[in-house]
């Protein structure tokens, strides 16, 4: 198989996982039929033609190369949903959202030219993979499972499973960044201010 085929296959995993999670819903009792049906339906829905392109192609317009972090998080969420076992504890999810929010705040506002510094260029240097490896190591030392997930961008980047050759794209994407910012915002807004 060629590199382009691997990139194309990888790009389809995150949309399939997300759609499968949506189709499974929040019902606590999942039958094997519902699980198999949801997983197959997610695959076939991505192949539905809309305006001359199948749905997967439209998703690729929005996000051509989901980050390995997002793909890993969707995989964990789906596995937890299917198996009923907790892979990530509350503190693992907390680290997931905080690190994603920090990465989003560093990458996107500065990368949009709001300052003279462009952190996106760091993705072509060795400093960002080293910083990610150091963060993963620290998380693993303190027993946080998100550290294992942070190793995915390093591996996927080394294997060139994405179209982009910038490490930022392996570690964070707009969807992971946006969800992280929302989760951190809701976590740190005091209860009284949430309802008013």
Tens digits of per-residue pLDDT, 3-34?
666 666 777 778 888 888 888 887 777 788 88
How far apart, in whole angstroms, are the C-alpha atoms of residue 133 and residue 113? 27
- Selected residue with higher pLDDT from 154 and 119: 154
Radius of gyration of the chain (CA): 18
Kindly report which listed range (101-110, 125-134, 163-172) carries the lowest average pLDDT score.
Answer: 101-110
How would residue 191 be classed by pLDDT, with cut points 50, 70 and 90? low
Task: Please say whether the beta carbons of 162 and 170 come within 8 A.
Answer: yes
**The pair of three-digit structure tokens given for residue 130, joined into one six-digit string:** 């080293």
Task: Please say whether the beta carbons of 70 and 63 come within 8 A.
Answer: no
Chain-centroid distance, C-alpha 79: 15
Q: What is the mean pLDDT of the chain?
A: 84
- Residue 183, by phi and psi: left (phi above 0), alpha (psi -120 to 50) or beta? alpha
Quick check: 62 pLDDT over 80? Answer: no
**The pair of three-digit structure tokens given for residue 163, joined into one six-digit string:** 């179209």
Domain housing 64: 3-195
Of all residues in the chain, the percent with pLDDT exceeding 70 is: 85
How far apart, in whole angstroms, are the C-alpha atoms of residue 49 and residue 191? 44
Name residue, tokens 């998080």: 73
**The pair of three-digit structure tokens given for residue 105, joined into one six-digit string:** 């705040």
Give the DSSP letter of residue 113: I
How far apart, in whole angstroms, are the C-alpha atoms of residue 180 and residue 112? 19
How far apart, in whole angstroms, are the C-alpha atoms of residue 63 and residue 177? 13
Could you give the C-alpha distances from 43 to 18, 49, 170, in angstroms and in order? 11, 13, 24
- Among residues 16, 120, 15, the alpha carbon closest in space to that of 61 is found at 15
User: In total, how many domains does the chain have?
Assistant: 1
């Amino acid at each position: 198989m060629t590199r382009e085929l691997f990139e194309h296959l990888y790009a389809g995993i995150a949309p399939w996982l997300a759609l499968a999670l949506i189709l499974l819903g929040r019902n606590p009792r999942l039958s094997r039929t519902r699980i198999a049906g949801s997983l197959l339906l997610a695959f076939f829905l991505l192949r539905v033609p809309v305006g001359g392109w199948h749905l997967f192609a439209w998703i690729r317009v929005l996000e051509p190369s989901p980050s390995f972090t997002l793909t890993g998080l969707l995989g964990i969420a789906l596995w937890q949903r299917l198996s009923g076992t907790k892979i990530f504890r509350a503190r693992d999810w907390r680290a997931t959202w905080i690190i994603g929010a920090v990465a989003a705040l560093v990458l996107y506002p500065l990368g949009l030219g709001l300052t003279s510094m462009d952190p996106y260029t760091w993705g072509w240097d060795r400093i960002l993979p080293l910083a990610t490896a150091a963060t993963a190591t620290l998380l693993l030392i303190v027993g946080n499972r998100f550290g294992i997930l942070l190793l995915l961008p390093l591996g996927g980047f080394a294997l060139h499973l994405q179209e982009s050759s910038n490490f930022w794209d392996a570690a964070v994407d707009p969807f992971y960044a946006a969800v992280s910012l929302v989760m951190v915002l809701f976590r740190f807004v005091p209860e009284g201010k949430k309802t008013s």
